[in-house]
Amino acid sequence: MLGKNRLIFPGEKVLLAWSGGPSSSSMVWQVVEGLSQHSAKRLRFVPGVVYVDEGAACGQSLEDRAKTLAEVKQVLHTVGFPWHVVSLEEVLGLPPSVLRYCPREPAGTEGTYKAAVDNFLQQQHALETQGAEDSCGPAWGQEEQCWPQSQDPHEPLSPAGFPPAAQTEALCRLFESVRTLTAKEELLQTLRSHLILHVARAHGYSKVMTGDSCTRLAIKLMTNLALGRGAFLAWDTGFSDERHGDVVVVRPMRDHTLKEVAFYNRLFAVPSVFTPAVDTKAPEKASIHRLMEAFVLRLQVQFPSTVSTVYRTSEKLVKAPREGCAGGPEGPRCLLCLCTLDIDTADSATAFGAQTSTFSQMPPSALQAESGMPAAPCHTVGPGCCWKACGREDDRQTQVIQQLCYSCRANMKDLPSMDPLPPYILAEAQLRSQRAWVMQEIQEYLIEDSGDEAETTQS
């Protein structure tokens, strides 16, 4: 899969998102085998592993989380890659810049990829001729010999420690305030992706590998259709996801079914760590995710080509915005999923247009009454007050809702108040609102100025 797509160049730093489950464990183990000296098709990138501790969101006690982290540490020591263990509570301290698109360097051509491979092979041959196989030099091929066996000492969380109790309580309040399990799963996935993106950017990784299998992607495609994310299916289920710009998410396990992964892990004794999820032991109809999973797997039992058929459909999806939509890196993006918004006018005959029309016709006071939020005073007093930008005294509900895609808007309806959201989301929402208001004021000024010049010319 990696050789066919040629997205990862020799020497590139790649972060492996490991959850402890079967698919991601199989992915990490295959990378270990591909980087070994005896591999027939040897991988040439520099790997790292990230593990996100989601115990607080799943209601685990500190004792259970400590046991899980001990198992995680043991497996990571066995793998031998540089690793980063972070807790989900750390999203409360992320900077607002994690929600911004960062342009990346232009993608290399096929000739560039071949030249990089040739350069790597030449350096490796030069090291072998000089007898430096056992040295720990800067060459790409020898990176695995000098990898650290423990976490970076500058990491905010060590496997033996936990974040402050205040952050754990704040995260628990956030998930307890969400009404439905569907919205909880979407929120957890969003916060996890933001945290992994921050780790990748902070440590210089340009690619992130996830362990999404063919079966999981088929379920995800059907689930996202039901959630109203049809416009973003190509990014959510494709081999590569370039929505962040400088960090590209790749899914090299998308050709393997869960059954194949289970056989591989059994035959090669691949270690894994079981961690309860937010939907563990939930009934079949508790959420859209659980319902779609049961639906697809039940069909797969009766009709064995179900998963492969849905998977082949996802391969035909094209990553392109609709005509007349504000796309590209400069277009508006969803505040949570970071996908480029398909902006419709308020009177368009689409679900997004109907929602936009509804929110635009409702005053901020009505939005507050509908959500149960009291009117909050503006935090900025004096000439710097941003009441026009943020909408009637820092109306966070309006700020956040207006900057979400259709699916994220539907999920945020299950969150009565925006106050429990992480500070970086609220800060970025306010910044975008202020920027939009300033741009609108500048446009109005330019229009008035051009009108005054026209009247002067006529007179």
Please report the sign of the dihedral spanned by the C-alpha atoms of residue 102, residue 351, residue 279, residue 61. positive
* pLDDT, position 296: 94
pTM, two decimals, is 0.80
In this predicted structure, the answer to whether residue 106 has a pLDDT above a threshold of 70 is no
CA distance 443 to 440: 5
> CA 176, CA 164: separation in Å to the nearest integer?
19
Chain mean pLDDT for the chain: 80
Average pLDDT score over residue span 208-230 = 93
d(CA 104, CA 98): 15
Other Cβ atoms within 10 Å of 99 Cβ, number: 23
pLDDT of the residue at 247:
94
413 beta partners: none
Rounded CA-CA distance 102/429 in Å is 17
Q: Inter-axis angle of helices 288-302 and 214-226, to 10 degrees?
A: 130
Q: What is the pLDDT of residue 392?
A: 46
pLDDT tens track for 250-299:
999 999 999 999 999 999 999 999 988 998 888 999 999 999 999 999 99
Residues 6+ apart with CB under 8 A from 120: 10, 11, 44, 140, 141
What pLDDT does 158 receive? 41
| Residue 138 pLDDT grade (very low, low, confident, very high; cuts 50, 70, 90) | very low
Write out the DSSP string of 23-57.
Answer: HHHHHHHHHHHHTSTT-SS---SEEEEEEEE-TTT
Rounded Cα distance, 269 and 58, in Å? 28
Is the separation of the CB atoms in 339 and 405 below 8 Å? Answer: yes
Task: Answer whether 337's CB lies under 8 Å from 331's CB.
Answer: no
- Rounded CA gap, 375 and 373, in Å? 7
pLDDT digits (tens, 9 = 90+) for 51-100: 999 999 998 889 999 999 999 999 999 998 999 999 999 999 999 999 99
- DSSP3 helix / strand / coil % (the chain, rounded to 5): 50, 5, 40
Q: How confident is the model at residue 389 (pLDDT cuts 50, 70, 90)?
A: very low
